[in-house]
Structure 1
Amino acid sequence: MELVIGCVGKPSAGKSTFFNAVTDGKAKLLDVAGLIPGASEGAGLGNKFLDDLRHAQVLMHIIDVSGHTNEKGEETVGYDPINDADWLDTEIHQWVFNNLWKRWTSIARRHKATKSSLQATFVGQLSGYGATPSLVSKVLDRLSAKEPVDLSTWGEEEVHNLVKIFLDIRFPTVLVLNKADQGDDTDRNIEKIVEKYGSDRCFVASAAAECFLRAANKQRFIRYEPGSMFYSTLEDDDEEQAKADAEKGLGPLKPIEKKIHRRLERISDMVLFRYGSTGVRAAINAAVELADVVVVYPVKSLKSFATNTTPGATNKGIFADAVIVKRGTTIKELAMRVSQFLGSNLAYAEGEDGRRRAEDEPITSNNLIIKFTTTIASSTLTPSDSSATDKEGKKGVKKGAKAGPSNVEE
Structure 2
Amino acid sequence: MGQDFIIGCVGKPSAGKSTFFNAVTDGKAKIGNYPFTTIEPNQGVGYYTTQCPCKKYGVRCRPRYGWCHDGRRKVPVKLLDVAGLIPGASEGLGLGNKFLDDLRHADVLLHIIDVSGTTNEKGESTTGYDPSGDHEWLEMEVQLWIYNNLFSRWQTVAKRHQATNSPVVQTLLAQLSGYGAKEPLIQSVLDELHVKDPVNLMEWDKEQIRQLVTGWVRVFVRRRFMFILVLNKADSGGDTDANALKLSQKYDEGRIVMCSALAECFLRKMKDQKYIRYDEGSFMFTTAEEEENESEAQQPNGGQSSDDAPGSSKRPSSSQKPLKPLDGKVSQRLEKIRDMVLFRHGSTGVHQAIDRAVEVAGLVPVYPVKNITHFGGGGKGEGAFPECVLVRPGTTVRQFAGMLHHEIDKHFLYAEGPDGRRLGEDDEITAERNIIRYVTERAAEENSH
TM-score (norm 1): 0.73
Corresponding residue of 2:333? 263
Corresponding residue of 2:151? 101
Corresponding residue of 1:12? 14
Q: Rate the CA distance shift 1:135–1:365 in 2: closer, same or farther, 3 A.
A: farther
Contact 1:331 1:349 in 2 (8 A): no
Corresponding residue of 1:177? 231
Corresponding residue of 1:34? 84
d(CA) in 2 for partners of 1:148, 1:362? 35
Contact 1:62 1:176 in 2 (8 A): yes
Contact 1:245 1:252 in 2 (8 A): no
Residues 33-65 of structure 1, C-alpha deviations (whole Å, 9 max, x = no match): 110000000100111110011111110011111
d(CA) in 2 for partners of 1:337, 1:110? 37
d(CA) in 1 for partners of 2:12, 2:225? 18
User: Paired residues, what number?
Assistant: 358
d(CA) in 2 for partners of 1:18, 1:108? 44
Contact 1:294 1:365 in 2 (8 A): yes
Q: Could you tell me which of 104, 114, 117 is aligned with 1:54?
A: 104
Which 10-residue stretch deviates more, 234-243 or 265-274?
234-243
Within-5 A mapping of 1:260-409: 260-294=330-364, 326-328=392-394
Partner amino acid, structure 2, of 1:16: S
Partner amino acid, structure 1, of 2:24: V
Q: Give the aligned CA root-mean-square deviation in angstroms.
A: 4.2
TM-score (norm 2): 0.67
SS of the residue 1:105 aligns to: helix
Contact 2:397 2:425 in 1 (8 A): no
Contact 2:139 2:221 in 1 (8 A): no
User: Displacement of 1:89 after TM fit?
Assistant: 0.6
SS of the residue 2:331 aligns to: helix
User: Displacement of 1:296 after TM fit?
Assistant: 7.6
Matched, 1:156 2:213: no
Matched, 1:147 2:217: no
Corresponding residue of 2:253? 199
Corresponding residue of 1:121? 171
d(CA) in 2 for partners of 1:169, 1:5? 16
User: Displacement of 1:232 after TM fit?
Assistant: 1.8
User: Displacement of 1:320 after TM fit?
Assistant: 10
Higher relative contact order, structure no. (Cα contacts within 8 Å, ≥ 6 residues apart): 2
Corresponding residue of 2:24? 22
Partner amino acid, structure 2, of 1:171: F
SS of the residue 2:8 aligns to: strand
Contact 1:67 1:185 in 2 (8 A): yes
d(CA) in 2 for partners of 1:53, 1:71? 19
d(CA) in 1 for partners of 2:188, 2:389? 22
d(CA) in 2 for partners of 1:349, 1:119? 38
Contact 1:134 1:329 in 2 (8 A): no
SS of the residue 1:155 aligns to: helix
Q: Rate the CA distance shift 1:298–1:275 in 2: closer, same or farther, 3 A.
A: closer
Contact 2:396 2:425 in 1 (8 A): no
Contact 1:349 1:356 in 2 (8 A): no
User: Displacement of 1:3 after TM fit?
Assistant: 1.7
Within-5 A mapping of 1:61-100: 61-100=111-150
d(CA) in 1 for partners of 2:130, 2:80? 26
Corresponding residue of 1:378? none
Q: Rate the CA distance shift 1:253–1:321 in 2: closer, same or farther, 3 A.
A: closer
Contact 2:397 2:424 in 1 (8 A): no
Residues 324-343 of structure 1, C-alpha deviations (whole Å, 9 max, x = no match): 5542579999999999x99x
Which 10-residue stretch deviates more, 264-273 or 130-139?
130-139
Q: Rate the CA distance shift 1:56–1:264 in 2: closer, same or farther, 3 A.
A: same
d(CA) in 1 for partners of 2:245, 2:217? 29
Amino-acid identity (%): 52
Contact 1:134 1:330 in 2 (8 A): no
User: Displacement of 1:295 after TM fit?
Assistant: 6.1
d(CA) in 1 for partners of 2:397, 2:22? 38
Partner amino acid, structure 1, of 2:6: V
Q: Rate the CA distance shift 1:98–1:272 in 2: closer, same or farther, 3 A.
A: same
Which 10-residue stretch deviates more, 136-145 or 181-190?
136-145
Q: Rate the CA distance shift 1:356–1:137 in 2: closer, same or farther, 3 A.
A: farther
d(CA) in 1 for partners of 2:157, 2:120? 39
Which 10-residue stretch deviates more, 276-285 or 19-28?
19-28
